[in-house]
Structure 1
Amino acid sequence: MPSLVDREDQPYVGYRATVGFDGLREVAHRLAVIAGALGERGVTPAGAPFFRYLVLGPGMSSLTVEAGVPVAAPVELGEDYVDDVVPGGKYVKATHRGAPDGLAAAAAEVLEWGAAEGVRWDRSQAADGEHWTGRLEVYRTDPRVEPDATKWETDLYFRLVD
């Protein structure tokens, strides 16, 4: 069952790309690159890595996403990477337990629940698709520690209109 939570602004370093579903794995690999670059600079991540969904193209034909790692303060990693902030505010949170291939269905369940509850998501519609202010998958399980994907936990966050 989803719950309402308050989140503070969260600075992060990320990699942004517009891809099809088949390109998500390549974007996900950037998380390790970002974590390594932070480690080289002596910066400890301020939380679990995540995907931030910015634009969902018409019919999910394309996705503009960011693979991000939270940091306590902005960090410059170079032109391929962005420093940004996931905005704080009221979010709906749900936890998916299992492999990543179940995340789309888990997100759909949250959106259906929100529709039934009359929730107003912080999103807008444009010609290029659905723009989200705060839609995240936070990967709480480190696959190097727990290789069994059926045991992975991912928190889904969807920002509400203020």
Structure 2
Amino acid sequence: MPAIVDRNEQRYVGYRATVGFDGMAAVAHRIAAIVGALAERGLEPACAPFLRYLVLGTDMQTVTVEAGVPVADAVDLGDDYFNAVLPAGKYAQATHHGAPDGLFAATADLLAWGEKEDVRWDRTVEADGEHWTARLEIYRTNPQAEPDPNNWDTDLCFRLAD
């Protein structure tokens, strides 16, 4: 059951790309690359990594998305990566338990719940698509510790308009 939660701002190291949905796996794999680069510097993630959906294209064929790993302090990982901050605020949150292929339906359920509850998302609709301030998939389960995707937990956290 979705809930409204307060989230503090969160610093992260990210990688951004605009891809077709078939390119999502390559962006998601950047999470492991970021975690590895942090480990090389003796650093660990501050909490669970995520994908941040920024623009869902009007053509429904492209998405601008970030792979992000929370960090305590800004860190320079090189040209492909940047430091940013997820905004604090109220978020609608729901947890999906199971394989990632169920996330599309879980997202649809959260959006439908929001419509029923008259939630105002922190997004704008522009000519090129829906622009979201913070539409997150937070990966709570480490696949190295739990290799069975049917046992994974993913939080969907979508920021609400002020």
- Please, which runs of 5 or more residues in structure 1 have no aligned partner? none
Give 3-state SS (helix, strand or coil) of 1:103's partner.
helix
User: Take 1:29 and 1:137, find their aligned partners in 2: how far apart are those partners?
Assistant: 14
In structure 1, the partner of 2:96 is 96
User: Take 2:109 and 2:79, find their aligned partners in 1: how far apart are those partners?
Assistant: 37
- Cα distance per residue 1:84-112 (max 9 Å; x no partner): 11101000100001110110110110000
- Please, which runs of 5 or more residues in structure 2 have no aligned partner? none
Alpha-carbon shift at residue 6 of structure 1 (Å): 0.4
What TM-score, normalized to structure 1? 0.98
Give 3-state SS (helix, strand or coil) of 1:147's partner.
coil
In structure 2, the partner of 1:49 is 49
Q: Aligned partner of 1:79: which letter?
A: D
1:93-132 paired onto structure 2 within 5 Å? 93-132=93-132
User: Take 1:129 and 1:61, find their aligned partners in 2: how far apart are those partners?
Assistant: 11
In structure 2, the partner of 1:80 is 80
In structure 2, the partner of 1:19 is 19
Q: Aligned partner of 1:4: which letter?
A: I
Q: Between the two proteins, what is the percent identity of the paired residues?
A: 66
User: Take 1:102 and 1:118, find their aligned partners in 2: how far apart are those partners?
Assistant: 24
Alpha-carbon shift at residue 59 of structure 1 (Å): 3.8
Q: Is 1:134 aligned to residue 129 of structure 2?
A: no
In structure 2, the partner of 1:39 is 39
User: Take 2:122 and 2:134, find their aligned partners in 1: how far apart are those partners?
Assistant: 7
Q: Aligned partner of 2:108: which letter?
A: A
- The two structures, once aligned, show a CA RMSD in angstroms of 0.8
Give 3-state SS (helix, strand or coil) of 2:146's partner.
coil
User: Take 2:118 and 2:64, find their aligned partners in 1: how far apart are those partners?
Assistant: 26
User: Take 1:128 and 1:77, find their aligned partners in 2: how far apart are those partners?
Assistant: 30
Alpha-carbon shift at residue 74 of structure 1 (Å): 1.0
Give 3-state SS (helix, strand or coil) of 2:155's partner.
strand
Alpha-carbon shift at residue 121 of structure 1 (Å): 0.3
In structure 2, the partner of 1:8 is 8
Give 3-state SS (helix, strand or coil) of 1:32's partner.
helix
User: Take 1:34 and 1:84, find their aligned partners in 2: how far apart are those partners?
Assistant: 14
User: Take 1:22 and 1:8, find their aligned partners in 2: how far apart are those partners?
Assistant: 32
Q: Figure out how many residues of one structure are paired with residues of the other and give that number.
A: 162
Give 3-state SS (helix, strand or coil) of 1:24's partner.
helix
- Cα distance per residue 1:21-66 (max 9 Å; x no partner): 1101011111111001111112221001100000000142100000
Runs of 4+ in 1 over 4 A off after TM superposition: none
